Amino acid sequence: MAFAVSVTFLLFLNRPDTQIADPKYQPVSVDVAEVVKENITIEVQAQGTVSPLRQSSLMSEVQGRVIEVSPAFNVGGFVAADEILMRIDPRDYQTSLLRAQAAVESAESALAQEQGRAQVAQREWEKLPAGSQRSQQAKDLYLRKPQLEQAQAQLLAAQADLDTARDNLDRTIIRAPYNALIRAKHSDLGQFVSPGSPLADIFSIESAEIRLPIPQSRLEYLELPGVGGTDQGAPIDLYTDVGGDLKHWKATLHRTEGVFDERSRALYAVARVEDPYGILDPSAEQLRIGTFVNANIQGRELHDIVRLPRYVIRAGNYVWVVDENSRLRNRKVSLLRAGGDIVYVSAGLNEGDRVSLTTLDSSFDTAEVIIHSSTPSNELDLTGAAGTATPEVVQDATAAVAADAGRSDG
């Protein structure tokens, strides 16, 4: 036991001197974006459902039995403008037309007879002695002017009845008012219809519209059409997923509805698509009525804007900026918008500033860094993933930051 104590004591006396080494400081390696201000247009996203520009409910104006229908008279059938959809039995209206024509001819004959009598009365009146001519009323009666006016009025009434009979006969033929698709049909061959009976519901396929809600905070990014609308509005990219395949269509911002929605405080803009069913261009992708679509609306040009990937923005709209001494500085910026993969910085950055693209936490404030790569902000691939420092570098840099803070306190 005494021997062990002696050996321990000798080892303690012969121990080497303790050497305290300063912690090794290893700067963290970061990628940076060199700020380049640009004039850009910001796309505003919205969603909406495709609806027809116009739609109609066709109703019968006459009564009768449906004796003929078009082969295209089916739900989903395409009909061209002025194409005959159905015919209603016209026999009663043909008979009415013949009667109206006969009444016109009879009224014309009666008018001709009265005109002849009036001419005879005029010659007789002229032969009368001057003293026998009495009042103007007596002269008008003698010359048969009331009878002549009555015959003319009867002719006008007969001609009006003839026009009505022709119109009713024409109404037995139901035509499409425009290029349309049949949404629903309410009558068919052999059915008896009366005035006011619904025949079919159709909608136009020449143009389609989409109501797009625009939040009040996004209106400043758009060049909105004036009152009345325009066909030369901002271009819009419509797209939707169809069976896993993303389909696109071109549209224009035609008009706004002019009032804010009281509940959502959004202004509805109306996009217009021409030839949605590809009638003029059969190779085009069909945009069917009722399709739910996403819309990217091209905005107006904004000046001195910096585009950055969204992940570089930290809580409170802060970014890491590398100063002239290669140290990280926390910089607050103003954003126009933060949505999707891109943010747009309107204030807080100067031309040539270096913004860190490497994700670092708040402990790296004022830490010294090494710039691994520098890319102008207008040449960044803004669809890529966030840049990160390797775990080893972050661990060493964290220890160095702590040691540097300890030296500063000392």
pLDDT at residue 133, as a whole number: 59
Burial class (CB in 10 A: 0-12, 13-18, 19+), 324: exposed
pLDDT at residue 23, as a whole number: 67
pLDDT tens by residue, 193-217? 999 999 999 999 999 999 999 998 8
Confidence of residue 405 (pLDDT cuts 50, 70, 90): very low
- What stretches of 104-206 adopt beta strand conformation (E)? 173-175, 180-185, 192-193, 198-204
pLDDT tens by residue, 260-291? 888 888 999 999 999 999 888 888 889 999 99
pLDDT at residue 385, as a whole number: 40
d(CA 203, CA 200): 10
pLDDT at residue 407, as a whole number: 39
Phi-psi region of 37 (alpha: psi -120 to 50; beta: other; left: phi over 0): beta
pLDDT at residue 386, as a whole number: 39
- Residue-wise DSSP of 13-74: HTPPPP-PPPPPP-PEEEEEEE---EEEE--EEEEEEEEES-EEEEE-SS-EEEEEE-TT-S
Strands 64-69, 84-88: pairing is: antiparallel
Structure tokens at 349: 């950055």
Phi-psi region of 48 (alpha: psi -120 to 50; beta: other; left: phi over 0): beta
pLDDT tens by residue, 71-106? 999 999 999 999 999 999 999 999 999 999 999 999
Q: Which amino acid is at 386?
A: A
pLDDT tens by residue, 333-375? 998 875 678 888 989 999 999 999 988 888 888 888 888 888 8
Contacts of range 318-323, beta carbons closer than 8 Å, 24 or more positions apart: 319/348, 319/349, 319/355, 319/356, 320/30, 320/355, 320/356, 320/358, 320/360, 320/364, 321/349, 321/353, 321/354, 321/355, 321/356, 322/30, 322/32, 322/354, 322/355, 322/356, 322/369, 322/371
Structure tokens at 59: 């109703």
CA end-to-end span of the chain: 47
Name residue 171's beta-bridge partners.
none
Structure tokens at 319: 């970014």
Confidence of residue 387 (pLDDT cuts 50, 70, 90): very low
The stretch 221-240 carries a mean pLDDT of 80
